[in-house]
């Protein structure tokens, strides 16, 4: 407990130091108002107002010299609304920044230089998934939460097939698939082990594929001398990237022993909730929706299987950070509020309210005692994200890559090269 307190004090000290440096340099203008009030700043996000309002009320009460006002936006139109608002000068002072929009908004938010906030300090304070907000120039957002990709499994199906524990490694996983996939006399699948191989009816397909590539050591996107480029087709170490894509598409190949999924199925989350699917790869934040779909389903959750004998563990994640707009009309207050929200108890309340995991290491060290959180927290420690240049476009690119292999239009190697080339075009600013 003492160590956690000291860490928080260290974070607050660093935040104050950054603020002081930026004020001294003139980056943050301090007004000369006589009433001592630092004013009101607006915060945009897609989280439900009923979840954010109570914790923001506590935050404002604890910091009476300014007010943070939350504006809830639709997740479907958030990107467009934010772009239009910033362009017209009516945008928010701060916003919750999803990791898949960080590249898109890099030029519109404040970058904190490493001379003010050392990289070593950032890595000591935040879990590795938060590094998606780092560039060679500095920090684009303070990580608030991590939503790791998990493996949900139907306990009844595993029990019925005398499988004691869910698989920890991919080779064990593939060995289970033929046993768990049930077919009729015409080779039609009636119960599936896992939804992999296709894209359109596999929920989180891009995230699953990205996790496979990152587990092989490929970061997907890399920055070098300030220039971002796709390295999706660059093999790392002893892993052959085409074999990773083939591993995925094999589950949709009727001639393969692991064949377990095809286009005739509904979306994978619905099939899992009907208890016709043994394993479902979904995010920690999906837990409640899965419970709501079938309250009587006997399922549990485990970490994503790993590559056996790998030097590290990894799962994919979605990360949310807190960014300050470079066009804020009350920059000094926005910057101060963002720092306080990231280092104070707002961060823990934020993740608890949304059912996701905090990004700070000191908070990850104190696991809630409920049934699921310890597993989510453990996965968050080895979770990683990647710099997605355009979510909708990369969805299409990944889907095209999978479909090109399934239709035999391209080899797995050429499909990866094609996808990597298209992603590189998206990264050109």
pLDDT, one tens digit per residue, over 400-429 is 999 999 999 999 999 999 999 999 999 996
- Residues written for the chain: 429
- 424: tokens are 């590189």
1-5, 48-52, 161-165, 277-281, range with the lowest pLDDT? 1-5
Equal CATH topology for 2-145+319-367 and 148-316+387-426:
yes
Distance CA 273, CA 290 (A): 7
- Reported as a single tens digit per residue, the pLDDT across 66-119 is 999 999 999 999 999 999 999 888 999 999 999 999 999 999 999 989 998 899
Torsion of Cα atoms, 360 then 44 then 384 then 272, to 10°:
110
In the beta sheet, which residues pair with residue 324?
94
Crossing angle, helix 391-406 and helix 205-215, to 10 degrees?
80
Instruction: Confirm if 229 and 424 have CB atoms less than 8 A apart.
Output: yes
Torsion of Cα atoms, 190 then 196 then 198 then 200, to 10°:
90
Could you confirm whether domain 2-145+319-367 is CATH 3.40.190.10? yes
Distance CA 314, CA 98 (A): 20
How would residue 5 be classed by pLDDT, with cut points 50, 70 and 90? very low
pLDDT at 370 over 50: yes
Identify the three-state secondary structure at position 52: helix
* Percentage, residues of the chain above pLDDT 70: 91
Distance CA 83, CA 66 (A): 26
17-31, 263-277, 342-356, range with the lowest pLDDT? 17-31
Residue of 321, 264, 330, 411 whose CA lies nearest to 141? 321
In the beta sheet, which residues pair with residue 306?
169
pLDDT at 173 over 70: yes
pLDDT for 12 equals 45
pLDDT for 25 equals 41
Distance CA 402, CA 412 (A): 9
How would residue 1 be classed by pLDDT, with cut points 50, 70 and 90? very low
Instruction: Confirm if 202 and 212 have CB atoms less than 8 A apart.
Output: no
Cβ-Cβ contacts under 8 Å for 282 (sequence gap 6 or more): 149, 150, 152, 203, 204, 269, 290
pLDDT for 18 equals 53
Residue of 322, 321, 316, 280 whose CA lies nearest to 301? 280
pTM above 0.75, yes or no: yes
Distance CA 196, CA 353 (A): 31
- 204: tokens are 């989180």
Distance CA 429, CA 416 (A): 22
Mean pLDDT of 116-134: 94
How would residue 186 be classed by pLDDT, with cut points 50, 70 and 90? confident
Distance CA 79, CA 93 (A): 15
Could you confirm whether domain 148-316+387-426 is CATH 3.40.190.10? yes
Domain boundaries, the chain: 2-145+319-367, 148-316+387-426
């Amino acid at each position: 407990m003492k160590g956690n307190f000291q860490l928080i004090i260290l974070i607050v000290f660093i935040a104050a130091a950054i603020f002081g440096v930026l004020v001294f340099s003139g980056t943050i203008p301090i007004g000369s108002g006589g009433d001592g009030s630092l004013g009101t700043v607006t915060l945009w996000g897609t989280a439900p107002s009923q979840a954010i309002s109570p914790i923001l009320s506590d935050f404002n009460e604890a910091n009476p010299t300014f007010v943070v006002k939350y504006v809830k936006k639709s997740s479907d139109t958030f990107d467009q609304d934010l772009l239009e608002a910033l362009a017209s000068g009516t945008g928010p002072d701060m916003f919750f920044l999803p990791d898949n929009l960080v590249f898109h908004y890099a030029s519109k938010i404040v970058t904190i230089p490493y001379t003010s906030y050392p990289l070593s300090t950032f890595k000591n304070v935040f879990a590795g998934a938060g590094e998606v907000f780092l560039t060679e120039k500095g920090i684009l957002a303070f990580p608030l939460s991590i939503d790791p990709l998990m493996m949900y499994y139907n306990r009844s199906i595993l029990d019925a097939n005398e499988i004691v524990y869910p698989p920890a490694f991919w080779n064990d996983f593939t060995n289970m698939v033929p046993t768990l996939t049930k077919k009729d006399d015409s080779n039609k699948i009636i119960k599936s082990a896992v939804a992999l191989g296709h894209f359109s009816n596999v929920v989180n397909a891009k995230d699953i594929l990205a996790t496979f590539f990152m587990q092989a050591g490929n970061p997907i996107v890399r920055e070098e001398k300030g220039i971002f480029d796709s390295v999706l087709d660059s093999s790392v170490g002893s892993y052959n990237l085409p074999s990773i894509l083939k591993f995925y598409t094999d589950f949709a190949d009727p001639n393969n022993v692991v064949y377990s999924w095809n286009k005739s199925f509904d979306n994978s989350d619905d099939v899992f909730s009907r208890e016709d699917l043994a394993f479902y790869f979904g995010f920690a934040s999906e837990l409640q929706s899965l419970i709501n779909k079938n309250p009587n389903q006997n399922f549990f959750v485990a970490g994503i299987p790993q590559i056996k004998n790998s030097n590290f563990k990894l799962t994919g994640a979605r990360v949310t950070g807190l960014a300050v707009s470079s066009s804020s009309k009350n920059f000094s207050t926005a910057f101060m509020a963002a720092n306080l929200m990231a280092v104070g108890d707002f961060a823990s309340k934020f993740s608890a309210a949304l059912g996701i995991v905090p990004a700070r290491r000191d908070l990850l060290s104190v696991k809630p005692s409920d049934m699921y959180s310890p597993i989510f927290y453990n996965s968050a420690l080895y979770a990683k994200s990647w710099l997605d240049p355009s979510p909708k476009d990369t969805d299409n690119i990944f889907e095209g890559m999978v479909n090109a292999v399934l239709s035999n239009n391209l080899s797995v190697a050429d499909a990866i090269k094609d996808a990597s080339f298209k992603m590189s075009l998206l990264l050109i600013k």
